[in-house]
A and B are shown apart, each in its own frame.
Chain A
Amino acid sequence: MVELRVQEQQILQSIENNGGKASVEQLIVTLNLSDAAVMRNALTLQEKNLISIHAVTQSIIKLTDEGKLYAQTGLPERRLILAVAEMDGQADLKIAAEKAAIQEQFIQIALGWVIRKKWASYSGKNNLLKLSEVSATEGCDEGLLKFLVNREHVSFDELSVEFKDEAEQLKKRKLVIIELKTTRFLQITQEGKVSLAEGKTVQQEITQLTPELIITGKWRVAKLQKYNIDAPVAKTWSGKKHPYLSFLDKVREKLVILGFQEMTGTSVETSLFNFDALNIPQDHPAREINDIYYIKDPKYGDINSYGAIVERIKETHENGWQTGSTGWGYKYDFEAAQKLILRGHGTCLSARALESKDLQVPSKHFSIARVYRPEVVDRTHLSEFNQIEGIIVGSDLNLRDLLGVLGKFAMEIAGASKVRFKPDYFPFTEPSVELSAYKDGYGWIEFGGSGIFRPEVTQPLGVSVPVIAWGLGVDRLFMMHSGIDDIRMIFCPELDWLRKKQVI
């Protein structure tokens, strides 16, 4: 004997009353149950072989908002010739359109249809629209619009042949849409009918265990309903760290373990530290408005406290000062040095660390800096992103050490198995090295740029020992790490993506 619960019995009975077959939608309405409740019970009934579930997919034709409007007010071409008819069979196109209340941008469309349907002729010379002698009878398209206007769920397959052809035309005019709709039907089985007829299996069951049942001990006599534990449940969304920030946390942690201390600074920076201190001449293309954001107001920062340093930087740019360099050979402009910009790289923080009175030898520093470039945002460009950069200051550092540091980063931070070095160029380092790392599954990837700061950079800042400088392409690394191919996902505006993004 099969046991039936209340809702199961109700559903079975309702199907039987409906002639042995009913759709889920019908049952939701008749029994005032939720979709989930009907489906949960239907699945149990199917398991018990009392019903079978069928899904039928149909093409449904529906009017669009524009279609609905025309079904009520008439197609624009119809309205146009009606207006012309009222004006004795011929009229100026603009006047007729105005009379027919057709908006400017739809006039040409309405005219096109009038001509195509041969309802009127049109002379472009004098803009005159003249009705045809044949009267404009109601077209099949208009018939279909009327047919659809008060009906829902019209099956495309059940339309007449003429209507079917017309439906395709109206779809092109975006007046109707044809969409697939799946309806689930529940059909009672022979066994189901028997169970219903026996009609004695209904038993009251407890769904939610309540404090009252526990305290009073009533739970001993109650029958607790067995759940369908396979049934889907509502989603729970936890609070989580942003995947990109979480990635930066890990990089920060690794750098701290490797003995680096974090540097910070402001996004608004003076040209002095973003450019001049880094041996970037004042007419360098990187300082053009296409490459760096300038601040509108205030335009200039205050570099008075760096008097001696600015003087040395000026000399270095002009003639090399005491650095052994020829310098760039131009006239240095103090005003240009004061210009405020949004920092274009994190290297300005390294310059500030070198300038600091607290600089120790040896020491290692890193920064995770928000940097800015006037880029149009697309799959591969952001106008605002992060750079991880750093320096190592030590009296005997050399190119071998630089390569060793890069190799360490590639292994520790990118999880690379092999590294490769190429000559690179930065105005502030010499020698300069580009790091490529080989990562299983990804191949060779460009991973960062680096070098030994030029004497033109270190000496004016008061540093006489070699300084290794490096920068890592952290955004690219994150994209690889999390399998995304659109850099805009870093500032992802989709809550759903953030909720579903796995933490590992």
Chain B
Amino acid sequence: MPTIDIDYKELQQLLNINFNGNMEKLDDVLAYVKAEVKSYNKHDETVNIEFKDTNRPDLWCVEGLARALQGYIGHKTGLKQYCIAKSDVEVFVSKELYDIRPYIACAIIKDIHLSDFIIRGLMHLQEKLDQTYGRSRKKASIGIYNLDLITPPIEYTSVNPKDVAFVPLGFTEKMNLYQVLEKHPKGCEYGHIVKQHPLYPMLFDADGKILSFPPIINSNDLGKVTEESKNLLIEVTGTSQKTVQNTLTIVTTMLIDRGGKAYDTTIHYPDNSNYTEKQVTTPNFNSQQLTLNVEYTNKLLGLNLTPEHIKELLKIAGLDIKGMSKTEIAVLIPCYRTDILHQVDLIEDVAIAYGYNNITPNWPQLPTTGKQKPDQQLINYARDLMIGLGYQEILNTTLTNPETLFSKMNTPPTPFIEIQNPKIITMTCLRNQLLPSLIEFLSNNQSTEFPQKIYELGKVIHPNQMYETKTREEEHLVAVTTHPTANFSEIKSVLDNFLSNLGVDWQIKHFVHSSFIEGRAGKIVIDSQDVGIIGEISPQVLENWKLENPVASFELDIQQIIDKKSLTLKTQ
């Protein structure tokens, strides 16, 4: 979820509210736009705000946030109109970009007075848009330039990386594009976006001066914005035309709110190319229109609102109305609201403006029958039995690592599921048996009083091509006893009691397993199917885990017993 640093004083001023340092009060207001205060820094008076909605980039600057809250605090309802003047600035896109970074949108801002404060806000917004809305610059990234240094028209083209060199922002030496990817911190961070292409995107002006190497870095000459910059060129490039245009709208409207005058530009996509639209004017501040059904609104909210009431609520939410009838409302959605996909989004805005806490809750009386999962009853019997036998239930993670599962258990690996992107070295795969986790548990409790008797009933995961998710999960039960005289007979007696209580006939079959002492291990067999193993753990394993007492254990695939028994239980 995006978090934004907002100037607290500025927000108070724009909203004309004094929160008196009461963050709860601010939180109550922020709740309307699904945001909350994460922290407040008294020194520089910035509030760190977290936004739950990832589709509302219009809120990620103090200007946009204040704009969205105006209606809810009763200052100004309806949508805010933005004007755009015509300009003759043109942008020419070359054909090969279709496969590299196809879309661009530009705007011009004139006569703006940039303070250090506004520049910082702008940079912060740019960074958040690039990161979150622009998917780390992949989908969209922003460049801002001093327009007075640029001679239009602009050329958005592709170049051979080693043929073009420029001084990237923050550097003094000229480098070619390969060197930028290698040496510039932004090149290292975002280079992967363009690296797979033989040609890289590039922005030039009419004099052949380089504006930037999108989406990596601006030129140090043209792409530097200071308090002296009066006229700006804003450019967004990316892979989604919608995201590129929305991003431009958000940056441009923020600068208009700061006193700038906006001018459009004309983007020319090449003829004889895959581009569907050949000429696009950006930015586009036209409102979108969506029809809201009154009956559907009331049905979904459980309310009985009149069209007039709904209209008022929509205006509180910063929307407006084009026209209405008894059954339908034509809603105008401002250009900066990029999050409305469906009329349910409008209905939620109606509900928020109405106030969730003003709605009377109702417990729906539905004729349904509660039921725990079918396995649960047998699982509970099994747990009760183990507890009655004096075993403490423990709970381990299903994430583990091959060293725990196999090497330290002195066995060769059996098929298991590995994670492609593990975060911690101790959690790189899913367990395919329970015993190792319990042995690990014992090794953590060597200074705890003996005897120690523990069990776990839980899921193990095996690869299995037969299933949709290529895995099969089984419920296993493992019991472990350890103390100076723990041995095979003790654990066999426990197993005998456990299975007899479940009414299961079983046999034991000798087998050799390197985790166990030879001659003290067996397979547990039910209806001539192997369902588990029992034995005394080999001293080698004990030594691997630094255990000083003998350990005896059994592990059962209790899923097989559940599957056999649930039939009987159902008929009872």
A495 located at the interface, meaning its Cβ lies under 8 Å from any Cβ of chain B in the complex? yes
Give the contacts of A346-395 with B (CB-CB under 8 A). Answer: 362-364, 370, 372, 374-377, 382-384, 392, 394
Q: 1/0 contact trace for A450-491 toward B, CB 8 Å?
A: 001011100000000010000000000000000000000011
Chain A residues in 8 Å Cβ range of B421: 289, 293-294, 374
> With A260-B370, A268-B470, A424-B52 in contact, do A404 and B376 touch (Cβ < 8 Å)?
no
A327 located at the interface, meaning its Cβ lies under 8 Å from any Cβ of chain B in the complex? yes
Q: Is B301 touching A422 in the complex (CB atoms < 8 A)?
A: no
Q: Is A398 touching B392 in the complex (CB atoms < 8 A)?
A: no
Q: Which of A237, A406, A425 contacts B54 (CB 8 A)?
A: A425
B386 located at the interface, meaning its Cβ lies under 8 Å from any Cβ of chain A in the complex? yes
A305 located at the interface, meaning its Cβ lies under 8 Å from any Cβ of chain B in the complex? yes
> With A268-B469, A394-B366 in contact, do A252 and B376 touch (Cβ < 8 Å)?
yes
> With A302-B468, A384-B397 in contact, do A295 and B420 touch (Cβ < 8 Å)?
yes
A339: nearest chain-B partner, CB-CB: B420
> With A295-B418, A400-B362, A455-B342 in contact, do A252 and B372 touch (Cβ < 8 Å)?
yes
B117 located at the interface, meaning its Cβ lies under 8 Å from any Cβ of chain A in the complex? no
A415 located at the interface, meaning its Cβ lies under 8 Å from any Cβ of chain B in the complex? no
A258 located at the interface, meaning its Cβ lies under 8 Å from any Cβ of chain B in the complex? yes
> With A326-B341, A377-B424 in contact, do A340 and B32 touch (Cβ < 8 Å)?
no
Chain B residues in 8 Å Cβ range of A242: 393-395
Q: Is A362 touching B367 in the complex (CB atoms < 8 A)?
A: yes
Q: Which of A259, A423, A430 contacts B370 (CB 8 A)?
A: A259
Nearest CB of B to A159, in Å: 32
A498 located at the interface, meaning its Cβ lies under 8 Å from any Cβ of chain B in the complex? yes
Q: Which of A182-190, A215-223, A225-233, A317-325 contacts B (4 or more CB under 8 A)?
A: A317-325
B74 located at the interface, meaning its Cβ lies under 8 Å from any Cβ of chain A in the complex? no
Chain B residues in 8 Å Cβ range of A364: 366, 368, 370
Nearest CB of B to A295, in Å: 6
> With A303-B468, A400-B301 in contact, do A260 and B368 touch (Cβ < 8 Å)?
yes
Q: Which of A241, A323, A362, A408 contacts B363 (CB 8 A)?
A: A408
Q: Which of B132, B398, B417 contacts A370 (CB 8 A)?
A: B398
B343: nearest chain-A partner, CB-CB: A324
Q: Is A259 touching B368 in the complex (CB atoms < 8 A)?
A: yes
Give bound CA distance, A492 to B362, whole Å.
Answer: 40
Q: Is B449 touching A298 in the complex (CB atoms < 8 A)?
A: no
> With A237-B449, A303-B468, A407-B361 in contact, do A498 and B372 touch (Cβ < 8 Å)?
no
Please classify how large the interface on chain B is, using the bins under 10, 10 to 19, 20 to 34, 35 or more: 35 or more
Chain B residues in 8 Å Cβ range of A285: 54, 132, 135
A413 located at the interface, meaning its Cβ lies under 8 Å from any Cβ of chain B in the complex? no
Q: Is B383 touching A241 in the complex (CB atoms < 8 A)?
A: yes
B326 located at the interface, meaning its Cβ lies under 8 Å from any Cβ of chain A in the complex? no
Chain A residues in 8 Å Cβ range of B270: none
Q: Is B399 touching A384 in the complex (CB atoms < 8 A)?
A: yes
Nearest CB of A to B377, in Å: 11
Give bound CA distance, A492 to B395, whole Å.
Answer: 7
> Which interface residue of A267, A297, A324, A425 has the most chain B CB atoms within 10 A?
A425
> With A364-B366, A376-B423, A420-B357 in contact, do A240 and B392 touch (Cβ < 8 Å)?
yes
A368: nearest chain-B partner, CB-CB: B373
A17 located at the interface, meaning its Cβ lies under 8 Å from any Cβ of chain B in the complex? no
Give bound CA distance, A420 to B27, whole Å.
Answer: 14
B194 located at the interface, meaning its Cβ lies under 8 Å from any Cβ of chain A in the complex? no
Give bound CA distance, A242 to B392, whole Å.
Answer: 7
Give bound CA distance, A346 to B444, whole Å.
Answer: 31
Q: Is B471 touching A268 in the complex (CB atoms < 8 A)?
A: yes
Give the contacts of A415-455 with B (CB-CB under 8 A). Answer: 420-425, 427, 430-433, 452, 454-455
Chain B residues in 8 Å Cβ range of A238: 387, 390
Give bound CA distance, A492 to B394, whole Å.
Answer: 8
Q: Is B342 touching A422 in the complex (CB atoms < 8 A)?
A: no
B391 located at the interface, meaning its Cβ lies under 8 Å from any Cβ of chain A in the complex? yes
Q: Is B370 touching A240 in the complex (CB atoms < 8 A)?
A: no
A245 located at the interface, meaning its Cβ lies under 8 Å from any Cβ of chain B in the complex? yes
Q: Is B383 touching A401 in the complex (CB atoms < 8 A)?
A: no
Chain A residues in 8 Å Cβ range of B240: 329-330
Nearest CB of B to A460, in Å: 13
Give bound CA distance, A397 to B368, whole Å.
Answer: 14
B302 located at the interface, meaning its Cβ lies under 8 Å from any Cβ of chain A in the complex? yes
Give the contacts of A299-341 with B (CB-CB under 8 A). Answer: 299-303, 305, 320, 323-330, 340
B242 located at the interface, meaning its Cβ lies under 8 Å from any Cβ of chain A in the complex? yes
Give bound CA distance, A383 to B506, whole Å.
Answer: 38
A296 located at the interface, meaning its Cβ lies under 8 Å from any Cβ of chain B in the complex? yes
Give the contacts of B420-447 with A (CB-CB under 8 A). Answer: 420-424, 427, 430, 441, 444-445
Nearest CB of B to A115, in Å: 42
Give bound CA distance, A65 to B55, whole Å.
Answer: 63
Give bound CA distance, A283 to B427, whole Å.
Answer: 26
B352 located at the interface, meaning its Cβ lies under 8 Å from any Cβ of chain A in the complex? yes
Chain B residues in 8 Å Cβ range of A372: 399
Q: Is A392 touching B366 in the complex (CB atoms < 8 A)?
A: yes
> With A235-B449, A260-B368 in contact, do A425 and B342 touch (Cβ < 8 Å)?
no
Q: Which of B34, B344, B472 contacts A455 (CB 8 A)?
A: B344
Give bound CA distance, A303 to B441, whole Å.
Answer: 38
B570 located at the interface, meaning its Cβ lies under 8 Å from any Cβ of chain A in the complex? no
Nearest CB of A to B38, in Å: 13
Q: Is B449 touching A268 in the complex (CB atoms < 8 A)?
A: no
Q: Is A296 touching B454 in the complex (CB atoms < 8 A)?
A: no
Q: Is B473 touching A241 in the complex (CB atoms < 8 A)?
A: no
Give bound CA distance, A405 to B302, whole Å.
Answer: 14
Nearest CB of A to B200, in Å: 22
> With A266-B469, A403-B362, A423-B32 in contact, do A456 and B341 touch (Cβ < 8 Å)?
yes
Nearest CB of B to A10, in Å: 30
Chain A residues in 8 Å Cβ range of B422: 293, 374
Closest 3 A-B residue pairs measured CB to CB?
A400-B302, A398-B302, A256-B370
Interface residues of A (CB under 8 A from B): 235, 237-242, 244-245, 249, 252, 255-264, 266-270, 283-285, 289, 293-303, 305, 320, 323-330, 340, 342, 362-364, 370, 372, 374-377, 382-384, 392, 394, 396-401, 403-408, 420-425, 427, 430-433, 452, 454-456, 466, 490-496, 498-499
17 extra A-B contacts, CB within 8 A, seeds A303-B468, A362-B366, A431-B351:
A256-B372, A259-B366, A261-B372, A267-B459, A285-B54, A298-B463, A305-B468, A326-B341, A327-B341, A340-B469, A404-B362, A423-B32, A425-B34, A456-B342, A493-B444, A495-B394, A498-B394
Instruction: Identify 6 residue pairs between A and B in the complex whose beta-carbon atoms are under 8 Å apart, listed by A's number.
Output: A244-B395, A261-B371, A263-B373, A362-B367, A423-B352, A425-B52
